[in-house]
Chain A
Amino acid sequence: MHLRINSPTVIHETMDDEVVIIHFESGAYFNLRQTGAEIWNMIGAGHSVEDIIRFYQRRHANNGKTVEQAVHSFVDSLQREDLVVLHDASGQIPAGAVSDPAGDDAGEFLAPSLEKYSDMQDLLLLDPIHEVDADGWPHRREESDDVTPD
């Protein structure tokens, strides 16, 4: 399964080993640390969920089942929050296996988690941006016959 970051609705910045994510439509924002930030960046680099799981199973040889469950659970949470969406990568060159400079069996697997903050949502939902029309406010998209097919 391939996913992609839900740009441009979502913007993100990696700061050291953390990622800060903002979802413009929901008004929620998020923080990822360590494993979560790694997985986010692997998704951004085009790796499939299966590649990501294999990477952690190689790195943490004794935690195979835990890794698979944790990655799936984390990816589900990213999808629920609309931060990533399914992506058809059939026409693309595969990103290939994830390389691991730390080598195999890097110790205990730290399960990824998504920290969510919702305290700005009221600001956003009360304050949308719209386009003006001749009748003032609000504008509704016309179903008229002069639609340009762009």
Chain B
Amino acid sequence: MSPRTDGRTATSRRRDEDSLAASVAAIAECFQSVSETLGPVIHHLRIDGQTVRISFAGHRLARTLLPALSHLGEPTAHSPGLSIRIWDTAGSGIGLPPGVVSAALTNAGSTVRRLQSESIRMMIQPEESMISLLDEERGEALLWLADAGNVPCHVRCAPLINLLQWWMCRHDRYMVHAGAVGTAAGGVLLAGKAGSGKSSAALACLDSGLRFAGDDYCLVSMNPEPYVHSLYSSAKLNSGDVDNYPGLAPALANPDRLATEKAIFFLGHAFPAALTGGFPIRAVVLPRVTPGATTRLQKTTGASALLALAPSTLFQLREAERETFRVLGSIIRRVPCFHLDMGSERTEIPRRIRALLEQLDHDR
């Protein structure tokens, strides 16, 4: 799949690389100019031992993109492994400079485009009016948005997802389409396609003593044991389900937009004690909504878990697919897998998961 091994000419590859690098440099200059005008807003995140420095050109961008990452904030910054610079045209009045990147955006139409050269990765998302760029060798990234005031809810819930995924793959941390809840001693990965009930299950555990590591995307690793690392403290629910979670009202970020968006919750400020940076994975749990009141766990096969976890991860996130598939297989071979049949009695969800974790801990 990688275009890096295609039959293109060495000369044309070098030319393309140079033109892309020149375009990226021009964008970086734009950021510098915008940032000096609006005032840079610097934040540091700590993700599984890696420091990420984020420079926003203006406070509005920071207010839009930081809430989902606030639980990873690092007051005393270490030397960053990755530096991300973010700016938008609406807030600065300055558009993308001409060059390969702006041409790529123009030519992309309405379709998501992923482009990569020898050292630079780029993702163009026309519907989100957003471009992500990473220079892997230099550990420098740029994120451009058309308008920080008009960012879709899936971007606010999972900001910088492409940049962080690209970068963390270099450190053997792989993004998965899964939620996770547990304690410092261990927890469960919640796997399933969109709509399977990952968010419902994760949010039902919030005030139960089980801590929240994510409802949609997390990082996983296998060194030395299966481990999940929290990336986002956001959660989404269908707006019709909001009334089933009245305790979450302090974290509801978009009460005025529930007619057109999913309900977004930023848990970092409202429920800081309910969050965790990660834990060892003790089981993979596949939520599914079932009729009736009863909530129960039923043992299932590793293949069922891999079918629930891998395709939606690999085809959505499209990065390091082979390595991610191998790591997911390794995790699933190491831990038991269960269906979580979720009846209407949602308070049973944390109780069942806690009982499972206690049993697994006892069996170890």
Contacts and interface: CB of A to CB of B under 8 A. Distances in A.
A15 B302 CA distance: 6
Contacts of A136: 100-107
A136 B318 CA distance: 21
A54 B114 CA distance: 47
Nearest to A139: B16
Nearest to A150: B7
A58 B307 CA distance: 33
Interface stretch (B56-64, B264-272, B289-297, B322-330): B322-330
Interface string B1-41: 11110111111100110011000000000000000000000
Interface stretch (B65-73, B115-123, B199-207, B352-360): B115-123
A127 B318 contact: yes
B325 A119 contact: no
A92 interface: no
A138 B103 CA distance: 10
Interface string A1-21: 000000011010101101110
A102 interface: no
Interface string B231-263: 000000000000000000000000000000000
Interface stretch (A23-31, A75-83, A93-101): A23-31
A24 to B, nearest CB: 6
B307 A20 contact: yes
Interface stretch (A45-53, A65-73, A103-111, A141-149): A141-149
B193 interface: yes
Given A137-B107, A146-B9, A130 B325 contact: no
Nearest to A141: B8
A134 B101 CA distance: 9
A98 to B, nearest CB: 23
B129 interface: no
Given A146-B11, A146-B12, A132 B6 contact: no
A25 B325 CA distance: 16
Contacts of A117: 307, 311
A71 B8 CA distance: 41
A132 B10 contact: no
A131 B15 CA distance: 12
A114 interface: no
The SS class assigned to the A binding surface is loop
Given A22-B311, A24-B321, A137-B115, A144 B9 contact: yes
Contacts of B306: 13, 15, 20
A133 interface: yes
B90 interface: no
Contacts of A29: 307, 310-311
Interface in B309-348: 310-312, 314-316, 318, 321-322, 325-326, 328-329, 332-333
Contacts of B3: 129-131
B111 interface: yes
Given A22-B325, A132-B117, A142-B9, A16 B301 contact: yes
B155 interface: no
B12 A132 contact: no
A22 B318 CA distance: 13
A27 B316 CA distance: 11
Contacts of A150: 7
Contact of B321 (A11, A13, A20, A130): A11
A110 B362 CA distance: 39
Contacts of A139: 16
Nearest 9 interchain pairs by C-beta: A136-B103, A18-B303, A15-B302, A137-B107, A13-B329, A131-B3, A120-B315, A136-B104, A15-B303
Given A31-B303, A31-B307, A131-B6, 19 more contacts: A8-B322, A13-B310, A13-B328, A15-B332, A18-B301, A20-B306, A20-B310, A22-B314, A25-B1, A129-B1, A129-B114, A130-B114, A130-B115, A134-B100, A135-B103, A136-B106, A137-B108, A137-B113, A144-B9
Interface of B: 1-4, 6-12, 15-16, 19-20, 100-108, 111-117, 122, 124, 193, 301-303, 306-307, 310-312, 314-316, 318, 321-322, 325-326, 328-329, 332-333
28 contacts: A13-B328, A15-B301, A15-B302, A15-B306, A15-B329, A16-B302, A18-B303, A20-B306, A20-B307, A20-B310, A29-B310, A123-B316, A127-B111, A127-B318, A129-B3, A130-B115, A131-B115, A132-B104, A133-B12, A133-B19, A134-B16, A136-B100, A136-B107, A137-B104, A144-B12, A147-B7, A147-B9, A148-B9
